[in-house]
Structure 1
Amino acid sequence: MALENPPASVALIVGITGMAGLSLAEALKKPTAPGSPWKVYGMARRQLPAWFPSALVDVFVSADALDRKDTTEKLAPLASQVTHVFWVAIQVGGTEQESITSNATMLTNVLETLKSDPTSPLRHITLQTGTKQYLGPILDPFLGSQLVHHEPPYKEDMSRLPYPNFYYDLEDLVASYSPSVTYSVHRASIIIGASSRSFYNILLTLAVYATICRYQGLPFRYPGTKYTWEHFCDVADADVLAQQHLWAAVTDKAKNQAFNCSNGDVFTWKSMWRVLCEVFDVEFVPFDDHENEEFDRMGLMKDDEDKAEKVWEEIVESYGLIPTKVKDVTCPEVLSTILHVEFQHVCSMNKSREFGFLGYADTLKSIPMWVQRLKDMKIIP
């Protein structure tokens, strides 16, 4: 597997089959990519799915990063070649402490395998985290309801919160390799992209929900609160996020820095819901306090999982989609948390702009594009 004359830039994308991983592979393979030409190596626990363009990957490694032996056996032959690690992997545990243990183990196994080669040319690590940096472990079953978080808009110089947070541990871990290896941290907002293998994939969750509603003739009601319906939120387009990773990887000024990543605009869920209704060809149902008082479609999908799975199985078969299960491609708990917060989820992009990253996306215009990507990939009809 070793190359006689390896190129100057060799990227290892860990978590390549997720939303950010796919966009990163596409960005790196563009002839105009900063630092090009790039060799792109990809790593994921499972084999590449049918929807992933194999031409985007020069070498693919299927390895379980939680398993040190498996990681070493699979990655050691590449250790003398990889110059940049793009870390977009995540392992979600039942509690935040479990997430700390699993994610730190994965990152340690990969980095120690690469650095154990005395000829390792590794020079930069990009680490993807998120706005939980400013919110705390909002999905932890014990801590989630007790948190006191920072006030938005979120800024990179805000202090760490006094709660366990695996983002903090991963930041400390990559920083421990400095100065021999530089790093950048990318605190992504809610990511919007295309994949059937991302745990926090709210667009695909909404797509499955809308598709089931249309298939069964049910109203596509907003499963959130009046507050989130009317107040501002932001997201991070997976392509913008990939651009920021790549920019930081080759920009000296960005080394050893943390950056928020969002599209640079804001939206209300009311405006987002209109776009989703147009894209999925379902009737727009205005928010109604009385009707939404006890209504929670995402909760219904979770509570009546067998029924949702049966309907989705019919849809997959009817439209010739890639076989998936509702429980594997949706994150109703995550979406419900986002749509029930009592604060505006907004990140400041000032630091990124001041350092020279000017990537952006028009959120409401990008939604139809990503939905079409999911359709082209045969993940949704």
Structure 2
Amino acid sequence: MEQDNPKPPVALIVGVTGMVGVALTEALKKPTALGGPWTVYGVSRRPLPTWFPSSQLDKYFFFDTFNQETTHKILSPLSSKITHLFWLALQVHEIEEVNVSQNSTMLSNVLNSLTPSPNSKLSHVTLQTGTKHYMGPIFDPTVSTQLVPHDPPFKEDYPRLPFINFYYALEDIVAASSYSKSFTYSIHRASIIIGASTRSYYNALLTFSVYALICKHENYPFRYYGNKHSWEHFWDVSDANLLAEQQIWATTTEKAKNQAFNCTNGDVFTWKMLWRVLSDVFDVEFVEFNEKDEFDCVDFMKDKGQVWDKIVEENGLYETKLEEITCFGATS
């Protein structure tokens, strides 16, 4: 006979307003969610946007986990309740040493607030990282030209690259803490994430969509701003809903404990193929990539904030600022 869960799990999602945070909140609250019924707490650095399904959250906190005192003050009283930590938070800087310092500090502050008490209930930590694990700090100009990434398809047991990487630092923190503080963990390495959120720096699909809308509004050609290799070669993506389901599965499956998992949709595409789709969806003219045509999209978009404001107003869209919802530097 089925029995009620004697200790209903309590999840803390740090980075709850991001693409995976939204999907994870909704997935945990489904009646069919593994290990449930779940109580769900959420954390982000800013108040919840109006579009967020706030009714799905049992508690919500907005504070900066980089602040040790504030983090301890808010989370320590919850250490006897929270059973699962889902770490989706991310601070992005060009220099990888800064990424290591800031992201490590945030994660350590949260873990140190939830685990010291003898009444701590934390049993599992889910850590989301990405394929930069296999590629190295590709956005850091001081080392990017020296990188020799692993060949795809990426495998979870590939050795670490000999470069500083904040993903490595976070994994080491979780592994060391789990050994001394008696909780298990799982690592989830995503590809390019697609999902719904206005609070995600790496929301590539939203970035391309905004770019297409601006090109249409101003009658600009919808030019691809990557390189020939990325235009012609295969890529994959990770759907936020799929990531959420994998993370819930890992928290409730004994054989998944203390393991790392890649998580992609499994199908592949070329940007040339996707660019045609975007051109059709947004009714802009498809432009064939020409590597002789020098085009800096970051520079092109830096003065388009007012154009986006007009598009938002004219179409009655949720009010956003261009710099808050696009990541042209990361998608170049």
Q: Name the TM-score class by shorter chain.
A: over 0.9
Question: In structure 2, how many angstroms separate the alpha carbons of the residues matched to 1:55 and 1:156?
Answer: 36
Look up the match of 1:131: 131
SS of alignment partner, residue 154 of structure 1: coil
Question: In structure 2, how many angstroms separate the alpha carbons of the residues matched to 1:242 and 1:46?
Answer: 22
Question: In structure 2, how many angstroms separate the alpha carbons of the residues matched to 1:82 and 1:177?
Answer: 16
Look up the match of 1:352: none
Superimposed CA distance per residue, residues 185-234 of structure 1 (whole angstroms, 9 cap, x where no aligned partner):
00111111111111111111101100101111222122222222211001
Question: In structure 1, how many angstroms separate the alpha carbons of the residues matched to 2:74 and 2:45?
Answer: 11
Gaps of 5+ in 1: 337-381
Question: In structure 2, how many angstroms separate the alpha carbons of the residues matched to 1:227 and 1:332?
Answer: 18
Question: In structure 2, how many angstroms separate the alpha carbons of the residues matched to 1:39 and 1:331?
Answer: 33
Look up the match of 1:28: 28
SS of alignment partner, residue 125 of structure 2: strand
Choose the corresponding residue for 1:323, options 307, 313, 319.
Answer: 319
Question: In structure 2, how many angstroms separate the alpha carbons of the residues matched to 1:247 and 1:299?
Answer: 42
Look up the match of 1:271: 273
The question of 1:73 aligning with 2:73 is answered yes
SS of alignment partner, residue 98 of structure 1: helix
Aligned-CA RMSD value = 1.5
SS of alignment partner, residue 49 of structure 2: coil
* Pairing 1:57-206 to 2, within 5 Å after superposition: 57-179=57-179, 180-206=182-208
CA deviation after TM superposition for structure 1 residue 93, in Å: 2.5
* 177-186 vs 30-39, which moves further: 177-186
Question: In structure 1, how many angstroms separate the alpha carbons of the residues matched to 2:126 and 2:227?
Answer: 35
Question: In structure 1, how many angstroms separate the alpha carbons of the residues matched to 2:149 and 2:286?
Answer: 33
CA deviation after TM superposition for structure 1 residue 313, in Å: 1.3
Look up the match of 1:11: 11
Question: In structure 1, how many angstroms separate the alpha carbons of the residues matched to 2:169 and 2:98?
Answer: 12
Tell me the percent identity: 58
Look up the match of 1:332: 328
SS of alignment partner, residue 178 of structure 1: helix
* Pairing 1:238-253 to 2, within 5 Å after superposition: 238-253=240-255
CA deviation after TM superposition for structure 1 residue 129, in Å: 0.5
SS of alignment partner, residue 145 of structure 1: helix
CA deviation after TM superposition for structure 1 residue 325, in Å: 1.7
CA deviation after TM superposition for structure 1 residue 316, in Å: 1.6
Structure 2 letter corresponding to 1:247: W
Q: For the structure 1 residues 57 and 100, does the alpha-carbon distance in structure 2 shift closer, same or farther, using more than 3 Å as the test?
A: same
CA deviation after TM superposition for structure 1 residue 7, in Å: 5.0
- 8 Å CA contact 1:24–1:243 kept in 2: the answer is yes
SS of alignment partner, residue 178 of structure 2: coil
CA deviation after TM superposition for structure 1 residue 318, in Å: 1.6
Question: In structure 2, how many angstroms separate the alpha carbons of the residues matched to 1:186 and 1:195?
Answer: 19
Structure 2 letter corresponding to 1:280: F
- 8 Å CA contact 1:71–1:113 kept in 2: the answer is yes
CA deviation after TM superposition for structure 1 residue 18, in Å: 0.4
- 8 Å CA contact 2:297–2:328 kept in 1: the answer is no
Question: In structure 2, how many angstroms separate the alpha carbons of the residues matched to 1:289 and 1:123?
Answer: 51
Question: In structure 2, how many angstroms separate the alpha carbons of the residues matched to 1:295 and 1:62?
Answer: 39
- 8 Å CA contact 1:61–1:75 kept in 2: the answer is no
Between Structure 1 and Structure 2, how many residues are aligned?
326
CA deviation after TM superposition for structure 1 residue 320, in Å: 2.3
Question: In structure 1, how many angstroms separate the alpha carbons of the residues matched to 2:297 and 2:166?
Answer: 30
Structure 2 letter corresponding to 1:260: N
CA deviation after TM superposition for structure 1 residue 6, in Å: 9.6
- 8 Å CA contact 1:223–1:298 kept in 2: the answer is no
CA deviation after TM superposition for structure 1 residue 284, in Å: 2.2
Structure 2 letter corresponding to 1:315: I
SS of alignment partner, residue 177 of structure 1: helix
Question: In structure 2, how many angstroms separate the alpha carbons of the residues matched to 1:288 and 1:92?
Answer: 30
Question: In structure 2, how many angstroms separate the alpha carbons of the residues matched to 1:220 and 1:257?
Answer: 42
* 224-233 vs 192-201, which moves further: 224-233
Structure 1 letter corresponding to 2:225: P
Structure 1 letter corresponding to 2:20: A
Superimposed CA distance per residue, residues 82-123 of structure 1 (whole angstroms, 9 cap, x where no aligned partner):
000000000113410111011110001101101122211110
Look up the match of 1:314: 310
SS of alignment partner, residue 152 of structure 1: coil
Choose the corresponding residue for 2:238, options 233, 236, 250.
Answer: 236
- 8 Å CA contact 2:135–2:147 kept in 1: the answer is yes
Question: In structure 2, how many angstroms separate the alpha carbons of the residues matched to 1:167 and 1:234?
Answer: 20
- 8 Å CA contact 1:7–1:39 kept in 2: the answer is no
- Per the normalisation by structure 1, the TM-score is 0.83
Question: In structure 2, how many angstroms separate the alpha carbons of the residues matched to 1:135 and 1:225?
Answer: 17
Structure 2 letter corresponding to 1:27: A
Structure 1 letter corresponding to 2:35: G
- 8 Å CA contact 1:7–1:37 kept in 2: the answer is no
- 8 Å CA contact 1:17–1:48 kept in 2: the answer is yes
CA deviation after TM superposition for structure 1 residue 323, in Å: 2.4
Superimposed CA distance per residue, residues 316-353 of structure 1 (whole angstroms, 9 cap, x where no aligned partner):
222222322212211111110xxxxxxxxxxxxxxxxx
